[in-house]
Amino acid sequence: MQSNQAASAIMVERVKSEPVSGSTVFVSKPKFEPLKPHEISEGQVQFRKVSVPPHRFTPLKKTWMEIYTPIYETMKIDIRMNVKTRKVELKTRSDTPDISHLQKCADFVHAFMLGFDVVDAVALLRMDELYVDSFEIKDVKTLRGEHLSRAIGRLSGKGGKTKFAIENATKTRIVIADSKIHILGSFTNIKVARDSLCSLILGSPAGKVYSKLRAVSARIAERF
């Protein structure tokens, strides 16, 4: 009985003075305690699984502790490597501060599997506005044989010079894996980097792309 009275007192605080006939009684907003992560999913544990491609198995072994530490200690998410299924498995804990941490951790591991360095991919855990965008060269232009090889060469440049120039100008990170291209960054920066890469695929010389990139990056800097 007392608990019911206390609950009603918390939920609704009525005005002390007696309302005059015909006047409006003001009722304060109900106060609810924020739900804990395990309460949102009705006590069920949330899972995510990220597949490990064959060529990323050895790098994953070498950098496992660098991936494990921020996920387990900072984000409060359990992580393990399932060797049989070749998947990284993630699940929430009772002390996970936010349910969205699980998806952030899954994105972080997925970015590493795509070929990004741990130091670059870990930014996905720290910042909300970052994401990974992927596309293939054939999405821009259908190229085969030596034409495809030359397009990939134009994207990288001599010693990766062109790729590094685009990364530094747009504040993004780019991975060129055969004919697949992955870009990590914010929405605006990814768009600028993707436009530059598409121009190179279509055959524009690197010098022309650099000058256009300088103009666009200067405009973005002015905006912010």
Domain regions of the chain by residue span:
39-128, 129-223
Bridge partner list, 79:
90
- Output the pTM of the full model: 0.76
Q: What is the pLDDT of residues 82-119, one digit of tens each?
A: 999 999 999 988 888 888 889 999 999 999 999 999 99
| Residue 53: both structure tokens together | 């491609």
Class of domain 39-128: alpha beta
CA–CA dist 81, 78 (Å, integer): 11
Q: Is the dihedral of CA 135, 140, 145, 150 positive or negative?
A: negative
pLDDT at residue 20, as a whole number: 53
pLDDT at residue 213, as a whole number: 87
Q: State what percent of residues in the chain have pLDDT above 70.
A: 83
pLDDT at residue 220, as a whole number: 75
- Measured between its terminal Cα atoms, the distance across the chain in Å is 58
Using alpha carbons only, give the angle 210, 190, 170 rounded to the nearest 5 degrees.
40
Neighbours of 183 (CB within 10 A): 24
pLDDT at residue 132, as a whole number: 93
CA 165 to chain centre: 23
With H, G, I as helix, E, B as strand and everything else as coil, classify residue 39.
helix
DSSP 54: G
Neighbours of 162 (CB within 10 A): 21
Superfamily assignment of 129-223 in CATH?
K Homology domain, type 1 (3.30.1370.10)
Question: 25 pLDDT exceeds 70?
Answer: no
Q: What is the pLDDT of residues 174-206, one digit of tens each?
A: 999 888 999 999 998 999 999 999 999 988 888
Bridge partner list, 69:
none
pLDDT at residue 124, as a whole number: 92
Domains 39-128 and 129-223 share a fold: yes
Angle, helices 161-170/146-156, rounded to nearest 10 degrees:
50
CA–CA dist 77, 71 (Å, integer): 6
Bridge partner list, 135:
181
Contact 134, 182 (CB under 8 A): yes
